[in-house]
Amino acid sequence: MYNKMGQKFGLFRLLTTFFYIIAGSSALAQPLDAPSGEPILTIEGNITNTNVGDTAQFDRAMLESMGMVSFVTSTPWYSEPSEFEGVPLAELMERVGAQGTEVEVVALNDYRAQIPISDFSTFGTILALKRNGEEMPIRDKGPLFVVYPYDEESRLQNQDYYARSVWQVYKLIVQ
């Protein structure tokens, strides 16, 4: 095969170009570095971008370097609205090359919840690392907490979404 400029286009290049188009540019363009600190999150399952065996592991610095966003929202767990700051879960799924429709979120105490991946882009769901500017300790829902912007849409203020709001997260399994 030849490209528009008449250069030979080998089968390997054709296949990698095709995969690049299908999988999306971000997963291929930015390989994951191995965590240099203590990993606080492991993502496994149907992912294409890994850094430790067949998993993607992240330390705090890696998550923070992805670019954090924040919003203020009320929750059933705190008496006053709180500012939550964290990584958009839609971007995190893109970064690991998630190839699924759901994520099983696992907490340190083995509580598990199934979340449709579509929630992440639809609602701007984040994996919060901070509340009111402070890192969240394990005793206060840390180190990671799935948070929806509950005040933005009344449909988020119900048990279905509260049950998906897992705290003390340490693992995501893409299904």
Higher pLDDT: 100 or 29? It is 100
Burial-class residue 37 by CB neighbours within 10 Å (0-12, 13-18, 19+): exposed
Beta strands per DSSP E along the chain: 39-45, 56-59, 69-73, 82-88, 102-107, 112-116, 126-131, 134-135, 145-147, 169-174
- Alpha carbon distance 70, 117 (integer Å): 20
Residue 2, pLDDT score: 40
Q: Which of 4-13, 20-29, 80-89 has the highest mean pLDDT?
A: 80-89
Residue 74, pLDDT score: 97
Tens-digit pLDDT profile for residues 36-63 = 999 999 999 999 999 999 999 999 999 9
Residue 9, pLDDT score: 41
Res 24 pLDDT > 80? no
Residues with Cβ within 8 Å of 84's Cβ and at least 6 positions away in sequence, in order, are 70, 71, 72, 73, 126, 128, 130, 131, 145, 147
- The ranges assigned to domains in the chain are 1-30, 34-174
Q: Letter for the amino acid at 134?
A: E
Place of tokens 């948070």: 147
Q: How confident is the model at residue 12 (pLDDT cuts 50, 70, 90)?
A: very low
Supply the mean pLDDT for the chain: 88
Select 34-174's CATH number: 3.40.50.720, 3.90.420.10, 3.40.50.300, 1.20.120.160: 3.90.420.10
Share of the chain above pLDDT 90, in %: 82
pTM over 0.75: yes
Tens-digit pLDDT profile for residues 106-116 = 999 999 999 99
Residues with Cβ within 8 Å of 1's Cβ and at least 6 positions away in sequence, in order, are 8, 9, 10, 11, 14
Q: How confident is the model at residue 30 (pLDDT cuts 50, 70, 90)?
A: confident
- Alpha carbon distance 7, 75 (integer Å): 59
Q: How confident is the model at residue 5 (pLDDT cuts 50, 70, 90)?
A: very low
Region of 113 please: left (phi>0), alpha (psi -120 to 50) or beta: beta
